[in-house]
Structure 1
Amino acid sequence: MWGLIHKLGSPKWFYYRSAALQPWCWGVAALLLLTGTLWGLVFAPADYQQGNSFRIIYVHVPAAFLAQSVFVAMAVAGLIYMVWKIKIADMAAAAMAPLGAVMTFVALFSGAVWGVPTWGTWWMWDARLTSMLILLFLYIGVIALRGAFTRRDSAAQAASVLTMVGVINIPIIKYSVDWWYTLHQPASFTLTSKPSMPLEMWLPLLIMVLGFYCFFIALTLTRTRSEILRREANTRWVQTLFEGAN
C-alpha cells in the first residue's frame, strides 16, 4: 500500500501511467454526455407540471453534484499535501479548482434560468442558493490565493488550509433543504431511496451525472499532466521527454 502511495506521489510515475488512462476517460465521457444529452433533451417525456423547462435538470443537477464533489476532492488532496508533502496532490488540487468554479457557476446560472418559470424569479436568498454562492466565492478565493504568493509552497499551504476549512460548507449545501425552509426541491435521486422521477426521465439524468464525473476525471488528468510538465520543467526526465519529442 505504501509502495503504491509512494509511486502515486512521483510526478514522473503519475505522468507516464496516466497517459494510458487519459484517452479512455475522454472517450467514455464523450459517449455518456452525448447519450445523456440526446436522451434527456429529445426523447425523455416532458414533465406534467413544468413542461419542457424541467430539461434544465440534465445540466443543473450534474453540475451541482460535480461542483461539490470537486471541492471535497480538493480538500482531500490538500490534506494529503499538508500531512505527507506529496507534490502531485497539490498539482491535482490546482488542476481541479478552475473546473469546480465553472461547475458552480453553471449550477447557479442554470438554477436561476430554471427558477424563472418554476418560482417566478431568477434568484431567492434561500439556504441552498446562498450556500452554493458561498461555494463559488470559496473557489475564487482558493484560485486567488495560489496567485497571491511568490513561493509555490506558501501558495499551496494557504490554498490547502482554505479548502479544508471551506469543506464544511458542503454538508450545509446538501442538507440545507432539510434543515431550513427553502423553495429548492429535495434531491431528485439518492443512493438510499427510490427515485421520485419515472425511469425514462431518471435514467438519462444518471447517465449525465456519470458523464460529468468522467469528464472531471479526464480533464483533471489532462490538467495535472500539464501542471507536472510546468513544475518539473527543470528536471532531467522532462527535458529528455521534450528532446525526444523534438
Structure 2
Amino acid sequence: MFGLANPDRFMRVTRPLVGPLWVIAAVLLAVGSVWAFRVPEDALQGDTVRILFIHVPAASLGLAVYASLGISCLFYLIFRHSLADAAARAAVLPGAAFTGLALITGALWGQPMWGTWWVWDARLTSMLVLFLLYIAYAVLRGAFDDEGRGARAASVLGLVGLINLPIVKFSVDWWNTLHQPASLLRAGGTSLDPAYLWPLLVMMTAWLLLFLAVWLTAIRTEVVRRRVLAIRARRAREAQG
C-alpha cells in the first residue's frame, strides 16, 4: 500500500487494470439488469421489489465509498501523501452519486410500501447526513485558493464524518424505524430468497467494479492534472528568473 503511494508506481500498476474493470463492470451490469427483470414478483411488493437491485447496491456503496474517502483523509493528514488526497477527492463525486441514488430509489420504494415519500426516521436521516457530508467535503475542498489548505480542511471534515457510518449501518437496530432491518448481512445468514439473492450479488459486484473503475480513472486524471500544474508553475518560475 505504501509502495503505491508513489504516484509513478501507482500510475504504472493501475494502467492495465482500468480497462478490464470498465469492461467487466459493464458486462455484469447488463447480466444483472436482465436477471433482475426476470425474477418473480414479490407476493406483497409486486414489481416494486425490483428497486432492490438498484437501491441496495447504491446504499452499500454510499457507505463503502465514504469509508474509503475517510481512510484516504486519515493517511493524508498523517503522512501528507498527495496520492491519498487525490484518492479522497476522486471518491467524492461517485460517493455522492451513489448516496443520492439510494435516497431517490428509497423514496420510490417507500411511497408504495409506506404511503409516503419520506419519513424522518433514523436510517433515512443518517443517509441524508451522509449525502450532505459528501457535498460539504466538495464545497470545503474548493473554498480555498491554496489547494493545500483546502485539502487539510476537507480531510478533517472527511475524517470526522466517519462517525456517521456506524450510525447509518446500525440505525435500524438502535432505534425503532420504518426501514426494514438488514436482510443480506445479518447474524444467522441472509433472509433473502435465492431467486433475489443471486442477481442482487451480481449487481452489487457490478456496481463495486464500476466504482473502482471510476475511482482509479479519476485518481489517475488527478495525478496528471497535478503534474501539468507543476510543470506550468516551474515554467512560470523559469520565465521570471
Matched, 1:11 2:3: no
Q: What CA distance in whole angstroms lies between the structure 1 residues aligned with 2:82 and 2:186?
A: 34
Which stretches in structure 1 are left out of the alignment for 5+ residues?
237-246
Q: Which residue of 1 aligns with 2:114?
A: 119
Q: Which residue of 1 aligns with 2:139?
A: 144
Q: 1:36 aligns with which of 19, 32, 35?
A: 32
Q: What CA distance in whole angstroms lies between the structure 1 residues aligned with 2:60 and 2:48?
A: 20
Deviation >4 Å, runs of 4+: none
TM-score calculated relative to the size of structure 1: 0.91
Q: Give the aligned CA root-mean-square deviation in angstroms.
A: 1.2
1:191 CA drift (Å): 6.4
1:234 CA drift (Å): 4.8
Q: String of CA shifts for 1:120-157, please: whole Å, max 9, x gaps.
A: 11000000000001111100000001110111111111
Q: Tell me, what secondary structure is at the counterpart of 1:98?
A: helix
1:193 CA drift (Å): 3.4
Q: What CA distance in whole angstroms lies between the structure 2 residues aligned with 1:152 and 1:92?
A: 15
Q: Which residue of 1 aligns with 2:23?
A: 27
Q: 2:91 aligns with which of 84, 96, 119?
A: 96
Q: Which residue of 1 aligns with 2:239?
A: none
Q: Percent identity?
A: 44
Residues matched between the structures, number: 231
Change in 2 beyond 3 A, CA 1:32/1:191: farther
Q: What CA distance in whole angstroms lies between the structure 2 residues aligned with 1:178 and 1:48?
A: 26
TM-score calculated relative to the size of structure 2: 0.93
Q: Which residue of 2 aligns with 1:244?
A: none
1:27 CA drift (Å): 1.5
Change in 2 beyond 3 A, CA 1:157/1:67: same
Q: Which residue of 1 aligns with 2:205?
A: 210
1:194 CA drift (Å): 2.1
Q: Which residue of 2 aligns with 1:75?
A: 70
Q: Tell me, what secondary structure is at the counterpart of 2:28?
A: helix
